[in-house]
Amino acid sequence: MPASPHVAIGLPDHPVGLLYQEHHGWLVALLRRKLQCRDGAADMAHDTFLRVVLKADVLPELREPRAYLATVARGLLNDHWRRRTLEQAWLDTLAILPQDLAPSPEDTLSMLQTLQRLDDMLSSLAPKARQVFLLSQLQGLGYAEIAKQTGISERTVKRYMGQGFELCLTLMD
């Protein structure tokens, strides 16, 4: 095992390496309290620092490193809980199917992976565009109803729906 976390992540004197060394333990403890899982907390802390590496240009101006790390981790936690909710909804739906209509374990896994990919893709939409697309596809609302419910124009609803459909076509490829 390497002597220091700097060496462990290959950034001996890099700002991310310093951030990691100073705050990794704190972040894991924070995530452990939220997740109630030591291994899950370690994985999510790792993913947090990966995101930090991708946006390392913000580090020189960073005044509150723990607040920044907590914000990045909170986004990952939100993704985690949303995925768990989505997965549980799918499993609950499967549980009420008669045994002869239930999909095989392989098909169930494939469907869960597809749902996760779809969730990943939809999360790339702006929040309002994602809301519009989900209102249409999951609740069956028409464009006029969505416009009224969200307080945006019907033209904007159509634009957001186009963005959502474009993402779905990408998933099909």
In sequence order, what E strands does the chain have?
none
DSSP line for 8-57: HTT-TTSHHHHHHHHHHHHHHHHHHHHHS-HHHHHHHHHHHHHHHHHTGG
Closest alpha carbon to 87 in 116, 53, 54, 125 = 116
pTM: 0.64
pLDDT in tens, 73-99: 999 998 888 888 878 888 888 888 888
Provide the pLDDT confidence category of residue 5 given band limits of 50, 70 and 90. very low
Where does 55-104 have alpha helices with state H? 65-95
pLDDT in tens, 107-141: 988 988 888 887 888 888 888 998 898 889 878 89
Q: What residue ranges define each of the domains in the chain, with the CATH number in brackets?
A: 1-104 (no CATH), 124-173 (1.10.10)
| 90 neighbors 118 (Cβ within 8 angstroms) | no
User: pLDDT value at position 102?
Assistant: 84
